[in-house]
Amino acid sequence: MKKYLHFILLFFVATSFAQNKQPKLVVGIVVDQMRMEYLQRFQSDFSENGFKRLMNDGYTFHNMHYNYMPTYTAPGHASVYTGTTPAIHGIVSNEWFHRTLKKEVYCTDDESVSTLVSGTEKEGKMSPRNLQATTITDELKLSTNFKGKVIGMSIKDRGAILPAGHFADWAFWYSKTGNFISSSFYGKTLPKWVEEFNNEKQYLPYLEKGWSLLKPIETYNESLVDNNPYEGKLYKKEPVFPYDLKQMYENNDAGVLRVTPFGNDVLANLAKRAIEKENLGKDDVTDFLAVSFSSTDYIGHTFGPRSIEIQDTYLRLDLTIADFLNYLDKTVGKGNYLVFLTADHACAENSTHLKDHKYEVDNISYKEVSKDLIAFSNETFGANLLLKYDSYNVHLDKEAIKAKGLDLTKVKQSFKDFLYTKNYVKRVYTEEEILASSGNDQLLSFVFKGYDPTQNGDLYFVYKPGFVEYSATGATHGSPYAYDTNVPCIFYGWNIPKGKSHDKKVITQIAPTLAQKLKITLPNGTNSEVLNEILEK
């Protein structure tokens, strides 16, 4: 009998050890345009069970940064999941003028695939084919002989597709028809449960109810007043609460949901449905769910980081995350899942707001920069030698330069000299300077890590701190400065110690850390240190 008991005991020890060897589910959460400082500034208004639960019971890296430019959505998601930067993974922007193809490309465009939902022909021609490196989700697939499930989802196509990688079971993204869609890259037909989810039209009750503040307006004292001059309009409506979303929907389409906090709620509902219907986290093979909340970015662009609209969005997202964690506890079980939360970039201050307080910065128009460059070229060379100006990138028309018998190096130098006469320009680099970068020049190292000579321009320039290429209202991102690079990074759950660090970390450390934590192969492009703080001592 004693021997028998001993056997039972051993059996329990063995099975509990087996259960803890790997997490049943990894949930990657990217909050589009989330600044680290929001976690501090809005903290007194957060619940105990959302962001605070992650921070108090998990491990928070307060000084996590992007280490390249441009700090945009597609490169951000690609870099979190590949553990490398655009210079290697090839996603150099959201959309860009491609030097070799000599045309505009969009990060996840794929002419060879088609949508799985009728009425979304253009929105559905998407896949991860432009991504040149493997993701942590790809490596999980390889390491489990494709048994671990990988699903990506977001309101934005790029927020769903890039994290889910090349071997994903599915990626789902929101279309302006109100449906979550996918492409023939992933399967022949949309899973039945997604079709059923779409038939529920969850966006409708949210849009019919409208958007009013979650809490009394006087409690939003961490933000500027409602209807301040730095906010843009929402579908032509003045930036004042409450918002009649029903009218906007009737005059436009279900895309209105994106620019409201409720885009996050509908996405969280889809995430819960995926866990249930795809049996994520049910067996001992690790699954991976990559969720990217995009509404925070649309709202941030429209109203800026100091608006009560953005504060209200984060107070609501806090409750959404609390509910989602509670769901994971009930379905996958506390301690069986690992969550990480970060952002694809942060955002700048509104430049007019800064200028009104005597900091001499400005918002620059993309069109003006382009016009200036053409005028300069015509005046200097008697011809337009600019092939394309594309945010930071100056593409020269090499055929025209050759035809005129001009020296390319000299032409580059004169464009460079011209750009330095502009009050908004901090640095201008030529392709040769970028590729010869030693990493000692802080700004050049950011450019180097974001630059792909087969895709980017002949010259690349960096704005001065505080200057933005954007409208006078709202906010944007893209620069190599701290306001755009400092994002949250929290790990929580399975085998994660409690704690925090204020040491400087870079975004490409997340993927190799996950690989070591899961004891699987490293994503192929990564060359980063790991976050030792959350690995076993």
Q: Estimate the share of the chain in helix, then strand, then coil, as percent rounded to the nearest 5.
A: 40, 15, 45
73 in active site: yes
> How many C-alpha atoms does 282 have within 13 Å on its Cβ side?
9
Residue closer to Zn ion by CB (options 170, 392) is 392
DSSP single-letter state for residue 349? P
Question: 179 to 198, contacts with Zn ion by CB under 5 A?
Answer: none
Least Å from the CB of residue 73 to Zn ion: 6
Residue closer to Zn ion by CB (options 139, 309) is 309
Q: Residue 503 is which amino acid?
A: D
Say if residues 383 and 400 touch (Cβ distance below 8 Å).
Answer: yes
Tokens found for residue 101: 């193809």
Least Å from the CB of residue 426 to Zn ion: 21
Q: Which of 60, 71, 73, 302 is catalytic?
A: 73
For residue 149, the SS3 value is coil
Tokens found for residue 355: 């200028």
> How many C-alpha atoms does 196 have within 13 Å on its Cβ side?
7
User: Any idea which residue has 């070591």 for tokens?
Assistant: 516
Residue closer to Zn ion by CB (options 297, 433) is 297
Residue closer to Zn ion by CB (options 22, 351) is 351
Tokens found for residue 402: 């050759």
Least Å from the CB of residue 26 to Zn ion: 25
Q: Binding-site residue total for Zn ion (CB under 5 A)?
A: 1
Tokens found for residue 287: 């699954």
In this structure, what are the phi and psi dihedrals at residue 338, rounded to the nearest 5 degrees?
Answer: -120, 125
> How many C-alpha atoms does 511 have within 13 Å on its Cβ side?
32
Question: Using CA of residue 188, residue 194, residue 198, residue 203, what is the dihedral sign?
Answer: negative
Interaction of residue 157 with Zn ion, rule CB under 5 A: no
Residue closer to Zn ion by CB (options 78, 520) is 78
Residue closer to Zn ion by CB (options 297, 312) is 297
Least Å from the CB of residue 477 to Zn ion: 6
> Which residue, judged by CB position, is nearest to Zn ion in the bound state?
297
Least Å from the CB of residue 75 to Zn ion: 11
> How many C-alpha atoms does 206 have within 13 Å on its Cβ side?
20
Say if residues 295 and 258 touch (Cβ distance below 8 Å).
Answer: yes
Least Å from the CB of residue 323 to Zn ion: 25
Residue closer to Zn ion by CB (options 297, 318) is 297
The DSSP H or E segment spanning 18 is helix 2-21
Say if residues 431 and 452 touch (Cβ distance below 8 Å).
Answer: no
DSSP single-letter state for residue 285? S
Interaction pattern, residues 289-318, with Zn ion; x per rule: CB under 5 A: --------x---------------------
Interaction pattern, residues 130-149, with Zn ion; x per rule: CB under 5 A: --------------------
For residues 489 and 471, what is the distance between their CA atoms, to the nearest angstrom? 29
Beta strand 103-106 pairing with 95-98: antiparallel
Least Å from the CB of residue 470 to Zn ion: 10
Active site amino acids: 73
Binding site for Zn ion (CB under 5 A): 297
